[in-house]
A and B are shown apart, each in its own frame.
Chain A
Amino acid sequence: MTRALAVVGALAAWTIICLLNARAEFVNPVLLPTPWAVAEVGLTSARSGELGRHVLTSLGRVAEGFGIAAVAALALGLLTALCVPLRLMLEPVIEFVRPIPPLAFLPMFLVWFGLGEASKVAFIGYTTFFPMFVAIAASVLRVDVMLLRAAASLGASRADLIRRVVIPASLPGIVVALRVGFGLALFVIVGAEFMGADAGLGNLIMEGRTFFNPAQIVMGALVLGILGSLINALLLAAERRLLSAQP
């Protein structure tokens, strides 16, 4: 109820600003698309199937890049947390690479992987890998040593400890890391599609700029917002179900 009100309120504010601007012309009204202009562009695009194609292309890239990064982050996160020499070797490298904004490497990905799908997928994978990897390794390292002692004195072998204690105990942290990583993938897909893409929401937005169609730019951004909040709500619900038994 409150949420619906907030949405209506935001739309109303947007409309009022547009109407005021149409009279006073603070900026050229062409630069400030009205809600109905945006809706019209969206409907036309949706009817022709263009919008669906862009959305599916972007989501496909996000799923692929995120999927690869998630598997790698899980495997390496566990391994790094459990193997002390590996951790000591990797830590300084990761601490150096991590603060570099991923976008700084985007041109490098285009050089390496070309203008096609591979560069987008690889870029999303690269961007989402580090935060997920670091968070997963941290949640594995946080597993209470007392739980390991309790299991070991019940007869657990090293493999048992990993399978029956380390993984379930760090599961809440792992799930949060994956959710944050997925959100991040949606975040950076636009950047990846700004350069050398023939489809995807980033491409749709860039096309709006090229053909001077502000309504299309806003429409692309709004679709991303809606997709992002829907997917986040879904992931949150899945997380709650999965962890319902946990404190």
Chain B
Amino acid sequence: MTTRIHVQRVSKAFGADGRSAPVLVDVDLEVPEHELLCILGPSGCGKSTLLNIIAGFIAPTSGRVLVDGAPVTGPGAERGVVFQEYVLFPWLTVAGNVEFGLVLKGTPAAERRRITTRYLELVGLAAHAEKFPVQLSGGMKQRVAIARALANEPAIVLMDEPFGALDAQTRETLQDELSRIQRLEHKTILFVTHSIREAVYLADRVLVMTSAPGRIKRVFDIKLPEVRDRFAREFTDYESEITRVVKEEVAKVHE
């Protein structure tokens, strides 16, 4: 399988001199095509920072990220991003948000409409195309954000705790939807979360990071069927095993 994302010895430190507050230390990571990789870790472990570096929003202090062999120097359309706080454009309708990337690319209007409708149907919002973001609930906003990222047809989707701000019910519904969408779209997805259950439900691999400064602690291959049962014995086994590993790190934070 081809490697889509290649993180090479990436370190990041904040602070005035760029070294005083290390956040990430020597992260090496390869993400193959079509994989959904979940990144787990205690708060402040740098998992969002890693995602922001891959997205090209911030530069690493040392090391580099290759996407399809080319070094990342800034954000780009081949890496779609879904943010925790949705970040929809409030002056555009739902459809306007979803077709934003297509407008930038100069896709003809008829084609744009076709693609927009397809992705709005995929996330179950076809009936709300003409609404504005303020008129939507949190779960609906995040569906729009997912449709907006996918409609731009990126090879890679970076998701930064996308369901973190939602209530438990909506959260599980959206996990089901993302799992279903991934079975159709086969994107390469990097998914940052602090929910172990969410990670086991969605991921092909789960990467657990150490507490700050973040390093890769362990990587789990999740060998479960594509459609998962949150109450199956194998599922809960993974859940408790990963919980044990994460807890070691959380405990360090409190020492």
Q: How many residues of A contact B (CB 8 A)?
A: 21
- Tell me the chain A residues, 139-172 only, with Cβ under 8 Å from chain B: 144, 146-147, 149-157, 160, 164-165, 168-169, 171
Q: CA–CA, A169 to B55, complex, Å?
A: 23
Taking the closest CB of chain A, its distance from the CB of B88, in whole angstroms, is 8
In the complex, which residues of chain A have a beta carbon less than 8 angstroms from the beta carbon of B103?
Answer: 164
With A149-B57, A160-B104 known as contacts, the answer to whether A154 contacts B77 (CB < 8 A) is yes
In the complex, which residues of chain B have a beta carbon less than 8 angstroms from the beta carbon of A153?
Answer: 55-57, 75-77, 79-81, 158
**Contact: A146 with B83, CB < 8 Å?**
yes
Residue of B56, B79, B81, B93 touching A150 (CB-CB under 8 A):
B81
**Contact: B75 with A149, CB < 8 Å?**
yes
Residue of A155, A164, A247 touching B152 (CB-CB under 8 A):
A155
Residue of B80, B93, B133 touching A154 (CB-CB under 8 A):
B80
Task: Determine if A245 is an interface residue (Cβ-Cβ < 8 Å).
Answer: yes
Taking the closest CB of chain A, its distance from the CB of B124, in whole angstroms, is 22
Q: CA–CA, A246 to B91, complex, Å?
A: 6
User: Is chain B's binding surface mostly helix, strand, loop or mixed?
Assistant: loop
**Contact: B87 with A155, CB < 8 Å?**
no
**Contact: A169 with B152, CB < 8 Å?**
no
Q: How many residues of B contact A (CB 8 A)?
A: 31
Task: Determine if B6 is an interface residue (Cβ-Cβ < 8 Å).
Answer: no
Task: Determine if B85 is an interface residue (Cβ-Cβ < 8 Å).
Answer: yes
Taking the closest CB of chain A, its distance from the CB of B162, in whole angstroms, is 13
With A149-B75, A150-B83 known as contacts, the answer to whether A155 contacts B91 (CB < 8 A) is no
Residue of A144, A149, A171 touching B91 (CB-CB under 8 A):
A171
**Contact: B81 with A169, CB < 8 Å?**
no
Residue of A151, A160, A245 touching B132 (CB-CB under 8 A):
A245
With A147-B89, A165-B89, A168-B91 known as contacts, the answer to whether A152 contacts B75 (CB < 8 A) is yes
Which 10 A-B residue pairings sit nearest by Cβ, starting from the closest? A155-B77, A154-B101, A152-B75, A153-B81, A247-B134, A153-B75, A150-B87, A168-B91, A146-B87, A155-B104
Residues of A within 8 A of B (CB): 144, 146-147, 149-157, 160, 164-165, 168-169, 171, 245-247
